[in-house]
Structure 1
Amino acid sequence: MHPKQMVLLAFYICELILKLIMAQTITRGTNVTKPGCPKQCGNITVPYPFGIGSGCAFDSGFEIDCNIYINGSQKALIGKYNIEVYDISDAELRISSDFGWRCYDSTGALLDQDMVSITFLESSPYSFSALNRFTVVGCDDYGSILGPNNFEYGCNVSCTSKEDVMNGGECMGKGCCQKQIPKGLKYYNTTMSSTGNHTDVWSFNSCGYAFLGEADRFLFRGLPDLGDDLTVDYFYERLKATVPIVLDWAIGSLTCAQALKREDYACRENSHCVDSDTGLGGYRCSCNTGYHGNPYFNQGCQDIDECADPSTNLCERICINIPGSYNCSCPDGYTDDGKNDGRGCIPPYSVFPWIKFSLGIGIGFISLVVGITWLYFSIKKRKLIKVKEKFFQQNGGLLLKQTISTKEGGVEATRIFTAEELKKATNSYANDRILGRGGNGIVYRGVLRDTRIVAIKKSRIVDESQIDQFINEVVILTQINHRNVVRLFGCCLEDEVPLLVYECVSEGNLYEHIHNQRGEGWLTWQNRLRIAAETATALAYLHSFASMPIIHRDVKSANILLDNVYTAKVADFGASRLIPLDQTHVATLVQGTSGYLDPEYFRTSQLTDKSDVYSFGVVLAELLTGLKPVIRDINDEQKNLADYFVSSLNNNLLFQIINRRVLQEGNLEQLQKMAELVKNCLNLQGEDRPTMKEVAIELECLRKLTGVSLSNQHGQGDNDHDDLSDLYTVPIDPYGNTPNSDSSHILHPTYIPS
């Protein structure tokens, strides 16, 4: 047998099975006909108010014709319209569907077409149900459905290849589209058109189709192995066999309230009236709860004996049927309601232990709540532990443990804090505990259990490729023990980002003191020299530490912290940067602060210890001049302090830019040597700069150098500055503010050399 014939045969079999199922699923109230009238037409049961033949229906609109064919088969037809009926239920009919089409040849010429038009007269009990959908199938078609009152819905389908066609899903426009119709539609007709007359898709789709049918029965098929809805003969047979049109039906055009007043009211005893929801009026009848049968006949709705079937009642012992319902009772001597879902039947002489029962229920409920709560928190705790373990491993915790275990004294030097410990130390990272914010994270003030005050820094998210470098730097920094380096006590790896725990330095940073944000009363020339020497010593120590030198990368006055006795502490290096040093050839890894950044490093991306020397030279220039690393000239253009300082020195204008207090307290030799040291540090060629060790030695020598201050050389005391006028030109406030007692002595030349 040809495969196509096998497919058609399968559909005929499906149609027969479908009709058998429909015959077995007739709802309550449709199993009785008028006496003497046929009940069946083939496999279709025809219940009243419908009837087969004249006089068997409620009126002529409900008459069904039963056609008998030569082969003995029977088909039920709506008499006036010669439309086959598949099923009749309480509120609906299912009838055979029809469809329209337009077919083209390969050149785009129209071969054949047929449009659908189905009409039910206004007086008929039928209208098209909203369970139907108007459907268009094809790949180059537009179809529309038209009805009364200028009702029109259009639907467009398109597809360029077989692969575009959606298979087995909703109709969304690729090969198939659908539109819902309104309730109460009495007639419709279809029209179709095509944009390209199927010339682009003719190889797999030469026709377009339009039809109305039950939405739940139509599942579009676009693949040949499942049956191709884009093929006309196959599509026609499948549609007729499986996709009916659903009709709503109702008696007359009156509402229930209106029909009750008429003699021809159709609903009989033990039934009630249901208004049609089609918007056309009319009503149907339904048996009351507890009754079944045909509500259109006298005594048609009969009482259901719920007691005959134990599954239809809730009685525990005795069931008593009553019209429309039933009652439950208990044998003599038994008490209570006798229902399975109630209190049942209690034996005689037994007293229900209400107190014990209530106590047991209460204890059981409390136990249940406690158990669920315990289970919830246990699961939550387990998830939290897993998350912490994940972060610990992700942040290199196992590697850190392994590393410190192989280093002598590492366990004592390095401490791994828990997330809960640091959360408690910072009061859950409260805003009032924030010490500062920066590009690398937020620093919080924390108090550990041993009452130590620490600074806890939340770093940025660490790239997995940087974990090894991060761990190595943490281990090295925790072993550094230098009085001028902020000590790293340890870290926490149980959070999404690493948390670093430093010693807390109380008096802010050098930048704040130089630029009068905390007051500079203590910041004498000797203190400036001391801080510079301490910082240089710390940086020299880092550059030469063990076999792995540490390059700070961001030396600036803001990263030089001061403790309660104003001792310098270098901070924010090593682990806080989290960028491997072996990637300095990548331009995007250049890192630093504007005004402090080594121009050679910026230009070549080659990071060396001389980059720190350049940045430290800018810090020395800040200490000498009191100016910020980036300043503005008289034309309001930004200039680097480094360029400005070197230019002033080369043009013999040094004493015009030095801080007035420094001039008063420092001697000429100290200032000149300090200026030369700054100039050497700021050399554009890194190889021409001194090392930090050489800078530290030079600064220590300057501290020991004694001599007469410039103010004493000119014969005046601290409060008389007039005789220093030969060292200055016109005073200019470098900050653009009104000069105060601390900054008014800083004077600039009338122009800034480029």
Structure 2
Amino acid sequence: MILLSYQIACFYVCVLILTLATAQNTTNSTSTTITKGANVTKPGCTKQCGNVTVPYPFGIGSDCALNVRFELDCNTSDDGSQKLILGRNIVVYDISDAEFRISNSFGWRCYNSRGAVLTESLAWTRFLKTTPYSFSALNSFTVVGCDDYASITGPNNFEYGCNVSCTSTRDVIEGECIGKGCCQTQIPKGLKYYNTTMSSTENHTDVWSFNSCGYAFLGEADHFHFRGLPDIADDRNVDYLYERIMASVPIVLDWAIGNHTCTHALKSEDYACSENSHCIDSDTGLGGYRCSCNPGYQGNPYLNQGCQDVDECADHPNNSLCENICINTPGSFNCSCPHGYTGDGRKDGRGCIAPYHDQFPWIKVSAGTGVGLVTLVVLITLLYFCIKKRKLIQVREKFFQQNGGLLLKHRISTKEGGVDAARIFTAEELKKATNNYANDKILGRGGNGIVYRGVLRDTRIVAIKKSRIVDESQIEQFINEVFILTQINHRNVVKLFGCCLEDEVPLLVYEYVSEGNLYEHIHNQRGAGWLTWQNRLRIAAEIATTLAYLHSFASMPIIHRDIKSANILLDSAYTAKVADFGVSKLIPLNQTHVATLVLGTSGYLDPEYSRTSKLTEKSDVYSFGVVLAELLTGLKPIIRARDEDNKNLADFLVLSMNKNSLFDIIDGSILWEGSHEQIQKMAELAKNCLQPHGEDRPTMKEIAIELEGLRKVTGISSSSQHE
């Protein structure tokens, strides 16, 4: 069905050609450990399907697998070729010790010249939910097109999005997948299922002449290479994209047995590891374990007597291991020495030492040679570490200059008081603060990078943001933003202490804010106890006042560009702090807007900015209006409905107000606290912020004044009720 829909859509596609790394060699490869030797399956069971080896605990048919979840089918076609099948129609390419490669799931959306959706098919995968498999971090989510946005969502509010755009084939650069025709983002370990959604800003009306479709898929990152938009003389290549993705970019799954760790599994009756093997905990975060043969053994650790002793002596003929005779032992080997000789007899060990009276004439020579060799080894080792340290210093110096370190130093030295405000951290300092960026120090992951919790030498707790990529053409602007943001001293802005420029990508050091973000408190019941009407008004006023301050910042106005409830952090007193200036823009005082690549978060993105790519202060106003709508309704910015299309909260709020049904969607927990008049005024303020044209929206300063007025009135009415 998917292939048929794609063939209809391809008539409207001016092909986005992708050249993929030759994946057949990889997908047809066999695993490394459990397939060594002949004994890889249960007795009487089929060992191979096509060119894929099927090792136990997997099996073809009943009674050949550890349990029903590891059962596979082998289908034979009319031409005699065989395919290994998981479930109903998922092709298995390869099974290894920890991974599992399967056929892809592919989504697209195509438009005609009038902008109407011609055909679409979205990848929707849930089959892993009750299986021993999860999606590997070796996969990346990829979006291809010239006027498309796609997102991948999963459990626990996981959501990554990619936006692609281009105005002609010349915009697209081969091998680059960073927004021009192609966008790619990694996924975390432990994902059990995912959904994809696709949309378009202009419905491909501006790019239809050379591109009418957008594509989204999950697949192994190393098997994908973006090639651009070459000219096509005929329609023979219209199926190229679909066929290559499905045939050459597999999805990689991690697999494990059960959901218990090794500690618990060892105590259970159905422990799967056989004799001469040991248990290894799965690293997906979902529990489960795998088995591996002990050192000196090889075979299948899941079968009885599956791990067999390796005969090292037979594998190394001509006494390549021993000076005299090699004697095999379970899991290892020993070496003998001739009569009268001492030592372990190993060529990589002490060897066989001659009797004392035989070697006495050479003791001095041997001792001198030994001392000389030891001295030489010590000198070579010291030289090696000196060269290694020198190279590390050179690399860090290169990164420091490449990331604008000299420019930042110059800015600091020419700015009064700048030395204390903008600190330049060393790479070693931040490495120690995060215990070498340990996984247990991760506070969160996002599309732009990873945030770690760190402790500096002065015992300050900080949040350290490590970006994924850096645009070298924007270094001067990045340094300017870092310098200005470190000068901001506002109680409701997360303080930027400084940065580190000695790594491949810059690292930013922020103050640590302890109570998470506003999104979690609104939508995950974290704020059920404290998020009253008065506190919602206070939070809204604090955010508005902060944005008004940024928009009127003395040296150069700052447009945040990604205002959303997830970027509003809360400290221990539940005071709002605006965070994540990673995509913010500085606007020169003599300009009203700047033209930029459209960035932002679905549901919060200013529609005028999406259409024109012109960024103004009113773009932040629109996003703030969505946050107000969240505070009023308790609904998410994208409302997912089971029987109808997803709704945009901004449109839903405006529509409800136009129908005089506002109070039908207001969060029930605040209806009894605030007066309907106060709620109505806050909703009207949100509606004004959500006007489609920026010129019709109020400024953040006007919004802040109105919210402060609402707070005062609300405070008086609350006092009156208590009296």
TM-score, with structure 1 as normaliser? 0.46
Higher RCO (CA 8 Å, separation ≥ 6 residues) = 2
TM-score, with structure 2 as normaliser? 0.48
